[in-house]
Structure 1
């Protein structure tokens, strides 16, 4: 499935979730805060690509990093037949796997 995602200024994006298969994306405009389980949080800017392996990896955040402009990206998601493309992760699982999340920088 291919889709364009538009995030209003300051939008946090989808809550922690996982995808059944890999996801490939490209930032069309703006900036996105992107964080996968086991990787540090980073900012993806317009013109940059990103990917995630899908499967068991938790996607913690993909929110608009800008408070004064929209951000937009296109994604290609390769799902597993018969499984949902996106599954939200509940609080109990987030707590059980907290040791797999890279510590966030203090501001």
Structure 2
């Protein structure tokens, strides 16, 4: 047996009584991905195919290719981008999320809040 470590992180919190959900997300070539959003708890992901443009509040956008892992802390942090960096192939990734009870696993951020928090977004 061979074991490869993809990532090791210490998330800031796990919501009390969280439930865990694992999903697969697919974006077609050139897709900008999910609009700005946040998760109620930490999310851990792995790119299965393609290249993701990944941007969290306070961090510069970065490209994550197939075979690499990513994570986000959840809670108040805005996830700005999870778009497909390629126009010639789809993007597929899996995410395991720790979801707070009674909260949606994903909540979109409105334009007013994006404007109010513009100073927290890193310049690309």
TM-score, normalised to structure 1's length? 0.96
Corresponding residue number in structure 2 for 1:34: 54
Inter-partner Cα distance in structure 1 for 2:56 and 2:65: 16
Counting only pairs closer than 5 Å after superposition, residues 1-107 of structure 1 correspond to structure 2 as 1-104=21-124
Inter-partner Cα distance in structure 2 for 1:60 and 1:5: 16
Inter-partner Cα distance in structure 1 for 2:66 and 2:46: 8
Please tell me the root mean square deviation across aligned C-alpha atoms, in Å: 0.5
Shift of 1:77: 0.8
Q: Which runs of 5+ in 2 are unaligned?
A: 1-20
Count of matched residue pairs = 104
1:7-55 Cα distance to aligned partner (Å, 9 max, x none): 1000111100000000000011100000000001000000000000000
1:41-93 Cα distance to aligned partner (Å, 9 max, x none): 00000000000000000000000000010111111011001111110000000
Inter-partner Cα distance in structure 1 for 2:100 and 2:94: 20
Bigger radius of gyration, 1 or 2? Answer: 2
Structure 1 stretches (4+) deviating beyond 3 angstroms?
Answer: none
